[in-house]
Structures are given as structure tokens and as C-alpha cells.
Amino acid sequence: MQLAQCETTSQFSAPVIREDYRDAMARLAAAVNIITTDGPCGRAGFTATAVCSVTDEPPTLLVCLNRSASAHPIVTANGQLCVNTLAGAQRDLSNLFGGKTPMAERFAAAQWSTGVTGSPLLDGATVSFDCRISHSASVGTHDILYCEVLAVYRRDSADALVYFGRNYHGLPGAV
């Protein structure tokens, strides 16, 4: 896609430094997800807030994954993953999958079943999207994984876990 050229000089040319960017991003509320994979290259999981809907034809999510994360080589080699969106009571799991804990310990802290791709589905998640990675792009430190959704699993009573201001917040509600 060709972007339109603009002849005027931007008045917003000051560089946004990393810490300013992170402080600003701390003000952007986001759902909390545990991304899991299993397959020929092993099992892995990590916490992610950088998850977004792209299109519903075909149903596609994007997940941004730091290439330095221990899960990166496993997720990309398996080519499939599940986005498990956390419920309010699952904040401890978010910290576990977002830290430097060994993979076996992360998975031992919850109950799982298996989705159509073979990826682990988290018991008690508000919703799980079982996906195959259709393509990816690298930007800076991260890979953007475009994930075609092959199956969804919804819990009947749904509530949400929101990450905002570097803290977790439970969001009760009915959908």
C-alpha cells in the first residue's frame, strides 16, 4: 500500500523516548491474555496484552510477541496458538506466564484441555480463540503474528481482567 505524501513539515517531530512511550501505554487499558501453543516443537505460553482483532473475514487476530521471549521460537515453529482471554480471578496466572518462571511450572498452575489445533485451552478463561498463524511481520523488537481463528470457546458467565496503570482490575459483567 502506498501512503500519501504530505508536503508540510510535521510540527510533531520530537522523538518519543522509550520511557515516555511506556508511561503513555500504561494509560491504555487492555484485556489480558495467555497465549499458548503445543505441537511438534513443544509447549509454551506467555502473557500478552498486545492482542487485537484485525478482520472477521477471515476471522483474524494479531498477537505481538517479543522475539527475545522464550516462547517465541516454539510458537513460531508450531505455527499455531490459542489466545486465552483471562477472567477477573486469573491475575496470578498472568504474573506467572508474564515472568521468568519455567514453562512446566506455568502450566502446572492451571487446568487445560486441548483445542482443534492442539494448543492448550485454559479452564475458566472468558473466551479462547484457537488459531493458526497465517503470516507474520517484524517491527522493532517484536513479531506481529496474524492468527486465523479456527475455533472459539466461550464461557457462559463472562467477566474480564483488565490491565491499566500497571495494575490488574476485575471487570464484572454479562455478555
112 CB-contact burial (10 Å; exposed 0-12 / middle 13-18 / buried 19+):
middle
**Phi, psi for 91 (deg, rounded to 5):** -65, -30
CB of 123 to ligand NAI, least distance (A): 24
Considering only residues 139 to 168 of the shown chain, the ones binding ligand FMN according to CB under 6 A are 163
- In the chain, DSSP assigns E strands to 30-31, 33-37, 44-48, 51-56, 59-66, 80-85, 112-114, 120-122, 127-139, 142-154, 160-164, 167-171
Size of residue set near ligand FMN by CB under 6 A? 17
**C-beta closer to ligand NAI: residue 28 or 151:** 28
First to last CA, the chain: 37
Q: Which of 78, 30, 24, 80 is nearest to 51 (CA)?
A: 30
Among 48, 82, 125, 145, binds ligand FMN (CB under 6 A): 48
- Check binding of 76 to ligand FMN (CB under 6 A): no
Which of the choices ligand FMN, ligand NAI, none does residue 166 contact, using the CB cut-off of 5 to 8 A by kind? ligand NAI
Give the footprint of ligand NAI on this chain (CB under 6 A). 22, 25-26, 49-50, 64, 66, 98, 141, 166
Q: Residue 84 binds which entry of ligand FMN, ligand NAI, none, with Cβ cut-offs from 5 to 8 Å by kind?
A: none
Of residues 36, 37, 49, 60, which one binds ligand FMN by CB under 6 A?
Answer: 49
Q: How do 59-66 and 127-139 pair as beta strands?
A: unpaired
Partner from ligand NAI, ligand FMN, none binding residue 97, C-beta < 5-8 Å depending on class? ligand FMN
Distance in Å, CB of 168 to ligand NAI, minimum: 11
Closest residue by Cα to residue 38 from 86, 75, 91? 75
- Residue 46 engages ligand FMN in binding (rule: CB under 6 A): yes
Taking the CB of residue 41, how many other CB atoms lie within 10 A of it? 14
- Which parts of this chain interact with ligand FMN (CB under 6 A)? 32, 46-50, 64-66, 69-71, 94, 97-98, 100, 163
